Structure 1
Amino acid sequence: MATVTSTWDVSDAAEKIGTVIRTDKDTLLSGARASDIRELMEARGVIVFPQINLSDEEQIAFTHTLGTFAHEDGEGSKEGKDAVYPITMDESVNPIASYLKGAFFWHIDGTMSDKPILASIMSARALAQEGGETDFCNTYASYDALPEDEKAAIADLQVVHAMWRSQLYWKPEPSFGELDAWMARGSNTLPLVWKHRSGRKSLVLGATALQVEGLDIVESEKLLVRLRTWATQPQFCYRHTWSLGDMVIWDNTGTMHRALPYDHKSGRLMMRTKLEGEEAFG
């Protein structure tokens, strides 16, 4: 009897970030390659499965092969059951779509938590006619490339993060009620350099970064913007142009990401699941 082999073709998406895997549904859903996927995700930050066309149920099942399914702030569950979460600007589909507008700026998910999600898994269900790509940058690679004196200077710095800071990017003049509601989420102080249990180090930056402790507001802002500019240079980045049915996984502990602008009335729809965090910021 002939042996049936699954498809598993692996290539780089960019030099320092991103892997493209061409495979089949059965291989993904079996979990047989789960450890390979996790290793690649940590090493390369982003994994693209072109036009794999998983259904919602299949995406949930695939997520479970990789780790613990995450449920955050009402996301990803329906009547106590796992579910995909709609990423869209259509408030008839997602009533809190306006909150997602912060995603158009570089960020790491979960900076308001001590233990952020490990990864996000997102599938394209409907696309904008123009725009809507997703940018990723490798915060391991960008840290590694810093000059040694810069690494020493920032090694022990702490940064206050606040959700409301990221919302001001898209709405710089909110009402007092809006600002008060955002500020009710509080703040969280995190290391600027995340010393991972693996021994690797990455930068913790993004739109929620409010102020570096111990620096005045001007010097703090200069440092945060300079490091963000450094980390998002082309050599550390990958831009994914979506096709229908694409699924992308990214390591939330070692990348930043952002969506590019598109017409919010376009019907663009992504379905997302997440993996629960396994390591606290440290």
Structure 2
Amino acid sequence: MFDSGSARRYGARPERWICWQCLSEYCSLSSCTITWVITCIPFKTSRGKTGLLLPFLHKCTVVFTYEEGRTMLATSLVQLSQEPIKPGIGSRIFNGKQELLSGRFAGEIRELLEQRGVLVFPQIHFSDAEQIAFTRTLGTFCPEPGDGQNITRISLDVRENPAGAEFLKGSLYWHIDGTSSDSPILASLLSCKVPASWGGNTGFCNTYAAYEGLSSADQQHYDGLRVIHAPWASLLYYNPEPGLAMLEAMQAIGEKELPLVWKHRSGRKSLILGCTAQQVVGLSLAQSARILVGLREWATSEAFSYSHAWQVGDLVIW
């Protein structure tokens, strides 16, 4: 990379920066910002001015700054900064808030989400409005149906969340968001405002990797199966003897038949599992339970799962 020392060695302040691919010229005025990456190749322009040849590299940014009285060139590469959490699941992303809100990395983030299953943005501290704005960079924003809010409050404390605390008890068990829709949602975004005083971790599993880890015979067997998903099935996990009014309220949400194996536009496949999965179509309850429990046990095993310990400001996408 071309740095301030190299600039001084060449002696003259370059008046133009030229991209060798598109031949565009950029005036090097004070505090000029140019989205190109440079190689240290000096040359002369048609007007005899000193310049540098700039090859274009996608998704990188170089910031050029000059101070009065001397030449100073500061470079700052901006790209998606991430590291894997575990071999089979999860990545942490370290880019700043403004870089993420710009939408510059939206395509890469979507690709990485499909590859890794879960993305963690440690202590990014998005406000509600910023979280919605960031969501819109990734795709169509879909508020949670039924609560009339753009941001759904997640709390099991009935004092903090009187309308939703009981329903959210189902989230203590493995589940996939959006099973009441014809197509499960692309992703959910969850941020931490107030962490639990103890415990409070959230578990995630990569159902892409879990499917791909199955034998070819098992994949073929499961590919054609369909499953009835019902929110009231999750009720029985945490309240096996509900009152009739509670049961009817949960049953009123409805049921949805979905494939056990979801084929994505990319061609990859993932499993649709969780506590809303009630029965495999065409099989008995006992046969269904053996399949659904077995796949849940497989998909949530150590190789495909990650437990996130929350800090204030964390954002997780899955």
TM-score interval, normalised by the smaller of the two chains: 0.7 to 0.9
CA deviations over 1:85-113 (Å, ceiling 9, x no partner) = 21112334322211111000001111121
Q: Which runs of 5+ in 1 are unaligned?
A: 78-82, 251-282
Contact 2:128/2:151 (8 A) holds in 1: yes
CA deviations over 1:225-255 (Å, ceiling 9, x no partner) = 11111111100111111111111111xxxxx
Which residue, 135, 149, 157 being the options, matches 1:90? Answer: 157
CA–CA distance in 1 between the matches of 2:263 and 2:75? 45
Shift of 1:4: 4.6
Contact 2:262/2:272 (8 A) holds in 1: yes
Equivalent residues in 2 for 1:34-45, closer than 5 Å: 34-45=106-117
Give the corresponding residue for 1:222.
Answer: 290
Q: Which amino acid aligns with 1:151?
A: Q
Give the corresponding residue for 1:207.
Answer: 275
Give the corresponding residue for 1:273.
Answer: none
Give the corresponding residue for 1:242.
Answer: 310
Give the corresponding residue for 1:253.
Answer: none
Which residue, 246, 252, 255 being the options, matches 1:187? Answer: 255
Does residue 132 (structure 1) correspond to residue 200 (structure 2)? The answer is: yes
CA distance 1:4–1:41, change in 2 (3 Å) = same
Contact 1:124/1:245 (8 A) holds in 2: yes
Contact 1:143/1:202 (8 A) holds in 2: yes
What secondary structure sits across from 1:153 in the alignment? helix
CA–CA distance in 2 between the matches of 1:106 and 1:208? 9
Shift of 1:161: 1.2
CA deviations over 1:248-275 (Å, ceiling 9, x no partner) = 111xxxxxxxxxxxxxxxxxxxxxxxxx
Q: Which amino acid aligns with 1:117?
A: I
Does residue 71 (structure 1) correspond to residue 143 (structure 2)? The answer is: yes
CA distance 1:84–1:76, change in 2 (3 Å) = farther
Shift of 1:195: 2.1
Give the corresponding residue for 2:126.
Answer: 54
Per the normalisation by structure 2, the TM-score is 0.73
Shift of 1:7: 7.3
Give the corresponding residue for 2:167.
Answer: 99
CA distance 1:22–1:172, change in 2 (3 Å) = same
CA–CA distance in 1 between the matches of 2:243 and 2:117? 38
CA distance 1:187–1:103, change in 2 (3 Å) = same
Contact 1:160/1:190 (8 A) holds in 2: yes
Pick 1 or 2: higher relative contact order, CA cutoff 8 A, min separation 6: 1
Give the corresponding residue for 1:270.
Answer: none
Per the normalisation by structure 1, the TM-score is 0.82
Give the corresponding residue for 1:172.
Answer: 240
- Aligned CA RMSD, in angstroms, stands at 1.6
CA distance 1:96–1:145, change in 2 (3 Å) = same
Equivalent residues in 2 for 1:103-114, closer than 5 Å: 103-114=171-182
CA–CA distance in 2 between the matches of 1:167 and 1:120? 21
Q: Which amino acid aligns with 2:235?
A: Q
What secondary structure sits across from 1:97 in the alignment? coil
Q: Which amino acid aligns with 1:42?
A: E
Q: Which amino acid aligns with 1:39?
A: E
Equivalent residues in 2 for 1:270-281, closer than 5 Å: none
Give the corresponding residue for 1:12.
Answer: 84
CA deviations over 1:10-55 (Å, ceiling 9, x no partner) = 1001111111011211111111111111111111111111111111
What secondary structure sits across from 2:214 in the alignment? coil
Give the corresponding residue for 1:254.
Answer: none
Give the corresponding residue for 2:25.
Answer: none
Q: Which amino acid aligns with 1:124?
A: C
Q: Which amino acid aligns with 2:152?
A: Y
Contact 1:7/1:22 (8 A) holds in 2: no
| Alignment length (residue pairs) | 245
CA distance 1:115–1:155, change in 2 (3 Å) = closer
Q: Which amino acid aligns with 1:222?
A: R
CA distance 1:74–1:153, change in 2 (3 Å) = closer
CA distance 1:76–1:240, change in 2 (3 Å) = farther
Q: Which has the higher strand share?
A: 1
CA–CA distance in 1 between the matches of 2:315 and 2:287? 40
Q: Which amino acid aligns with 1:118?
A: L
CA–CA distance in 2 between the matches of 1:86 and 1:119? 17
CA–CA distance in 1 between the matches of 2:223 and 2:184? 21
What secondary structure sits across from 1:125 in the alignment? coil
Task: Indicate the percent of aligned positions where both proteins have the same amino acid.
Answer: 52
CA–CA distance in 1 between the matches of 2:205 and 2:174? 9
- After the TM superposition, which of the residue ranges 221-230 and 149-158 deviates more from structure 2? 149-158
Q: Which amino acid aligns with 1:140?
A: Y
